[in-house]
Structure 1
Amino acid sequence: MTEQTSSIPDHKPRPWVDLLVSIVIPSLILMKLSGDNYLGSTWALLIGLAFPLGWGLFELIRYRKKNFIAVLGVISVGLTGGIGLMEIDARWLAIKEAAVPLVIGLAVLISTRTKYPLVRTLLYNPAVLDVHKIQQSLKERNCEDEFESRLMKASYFFAGTFLFSAIMNYILARWIVTSPSGTQAFNEELGRMTLVSYPMIAIPSMVMMIAIFFYLWRSIRRLTGHTLEEVIAPGAGGQGKGNS
């Protein structure tokens, strides 16, 4: 059992690969190769969506992690392909685009009523911060309740980023994708929407996520008195400490 677990490679973020495979390549295929002189609308849709779908499945199988958000991403791509191939009313695309981040946002809110809020799992965890050291300092200063309150606020802010994505996804889909599904124009508009969604939705969402982490970090610093270097997880900060 131990050998199997150790054989699973660590998942390292590869934002440029994610951007290329999930957004740039599919967008170019849908926008440039959907004409009858090239792949045609059906094959362009299948091949274009195969990139993010294949990449998502590869990540899930390769790293064997039950990532709720990654699973939703795979489902989302599959639904987009289904809407195009089955020539369902394009308005359903806007609903689907809004539904995925909305489901994630609701999951974040629901998780606040459990022992494992998603903010705690994603940001306040031993892989990122020295949680044991922080909790010990909070206990010594009698600030545990105040920190839990701030962690709850961070969870609400986190859910708010997905609400923002849901609203923007719906507006963007309704604004850009207006042609009947299954047509060349639909594919081109879908590619344009995918390309535009990154600067208009993904980047602002990332900025908000960074702001939430900054809020969480400032709360830790104020309530414990520790600097970032003092509470960074050994695995995350070990390399930097070794260099210094």
Structure 2
Amino acid sequence: MTQTTNTTPTHKPRPWVDLLVSIVIPSVILMKLSGDDYLGSTWALVIGIAFPLGWGLFELLRYRKYNFIAVLGVISVGLTGGIGLMELDPQWLAIKEAAVPLLIGLAVLVSTRTQYPLVRTLLYNPSVLDVDKIQRALAERNSEAEFEARLLKASYLFSGTFFFSSAMNYILAKWIVTSPAGTQAFNEELGRMTLVSYPMIAIPSMVMMIAIFYYLWRTIRRLTGYTLEEVMSPHLHGSEQPEGPSESNKGR
């Protein structure tokens, strides 16, 4: 019998490469090369936008990460380029910057009414946690209902991080990008906004995400008796963990 092999490469997170390609390089191009002596405003915008757009498409095609958040990211970059090339009012940039995280936040809320809440897909999933092991422990302790209630609360908190990003994106775009689209000044402001958005929006959002994961882990620990190491997905620690809770957590 012929055995089918999976030829899709394993995706390994590369945060520094993502930061360089999606934030630093486009920002430098937009801020430093938009003058007529260099690329000019149009070509600087096209090349600057091409980096995150091309990287996002590469990730999607290479690793087949066809999730809606990645697709929205590619669409977002494409819309930014379209606003600049079509020389639309900068107001549309602020609306676009706010709309993308707003749509994701609403999708998270809507997903809580379906069989596949997004918080399960992104935080409580087999690639991060040993979900089967956790579910068995919850069933043994009759804690499934309480855990589902906590998971729902985590979903609300998760959607809140995107609403925060939406509001901050709009404020930042209105504050920084004020020049007409298609000009050198617009490109420079767009590059500045891209750089500033990372410490002002991405880092606080990341901190909130970590806090939500910590909340979820504390819930799992209290309801199952397992430590974080004991419930991490087996492929992350490369060894099988014992089925029962650790001795230090028994009787808690």
Q: TM-score range by the shorter chain?
A: over 0.9
SS at match of 1:190: helix
Cα distance in 2 for residues equivalent to 1:229 and 1:190:
43
Cα distance in 1 for residues equivalent to 2:155 and 2:217:
14
Query: 1:61 — aligned with what?
Result: 61
Query: 1:219 — aligned with what?
Result: 219
Cα distance in 2 for residues equivalent to 1:88 and 1:205:
29
Aligned-residue CA RMSD (Å):
1.4
**Paired residue type of 1:129:** L
Cα distance 1:240–1:53, how it changes in 2: closer, same or farther (>3 A)?
A: farther
Give yes or no for the alignment of 1:83 onto 2:90: no
- Render the CA deviation track for 1:202-224: whole Å, top value 9, x for unaligned: 00000000000000000000011
Cα distance 1:110–1:76, how it changes in 2: closer, same or farther (>3 A)?
A: same
- Render the CA deviation track for 1:74-124: whole Å, top value 9, x for unaligned: 100110011000000000000000000001101101110011111111111
Larger mean Cα displacement after TM superposition, 221-230 or 192-201: 221-230
- Render the CA deviation track for 1:31-51: whole Å, top value 9, x for unaligned: 000000100000000000000
Query: 1:15 — aligned with what?
Result: 15
**Paired residue type of 1:148:** E
**Paired residue type of 2:231:** V
SS at match of 1:219: helix
Query: 1:113 — aligned with what?
Result: 113
Cα distance in 2 for residues equivalent to 1:58 and 1:152:
34
| Contact map agreement 2:234 2:240 (CA 8 A) in 1 | no
Cα distance 1:2–1:113, how it changes in 2: closer, same or farther (>3 A)?
A: farther
Q: CA deviation at 1:65?
A: 2.3
Q: CA deviation at 1:240?
A: 11
Q: Which runs of 4+ in 1 moved over 2 A?
A: none
Q: CA deviation at 1:140?
A: 1.0
SS at match of 1:157: helix
Larger mean Cα displacement after TM superposition, 118-127 or 20-29: 118-127
Give TM-score, length-normalised by structure 2.
Answer: 0.93
Structure 2, unaligned stretches of length 5 or more? 242-252
Query: 1:38 — aligned with what?
Result: 38
Q: CA deviation at 1:164?
A: 0.3
Cα distance in 1 for residues equivalent to 2:29 and 2:123:
36
**Paired residue type of 1:18:** D
- Render the CA deviation track for 1:112-149: whole Å, top value 9, x for unaligned: 00111111111111111111111111111111000000
**Paired residue type of 1:233:** S
Cα distance in 2 for residues equivalent to 1:165 and 1:84:
22
Aligned length: 240
Cα distance 1:134–1:49, how it changes in 2: closer, same or farther (>3 A)?
A: same
Cα distance in 2 for residues equivalent to 1:201 and 1:115:
30
Give the 5 Å matches for 1:120-139.
120-139=120-139
Structure 1, unaligned stretches of length 5 or more? none
Query: 2:194 — aligned with what?
Result: 194
**Paired residue type of 2:139:** K
Between structures 1 and 2, the one with greater helix share: 1
Give yes or no for the alignment of 1:175 onto 2:175: yes
Give yes or no for the alignment of 1:101 onto 2:101: yes
Cα distance in 1 for residues equivalent to 2:165 and 2:30:
23
Cα distance in 2 for residues equivalent to 1:202 and 1:76:
16
Cα distance in 1 for residues equivalent to 2:175 and 2:196:
11
- Render the CA deviation track for 1:38-76: whole Å, top value 9, x for unaligned: 000000000000000000000001011212111001100
Give the 5 Å matches for 1:142-181.
142-181=142-181
Cα distance in 2 for residues equivalent to 1:120 and 1:148:
11
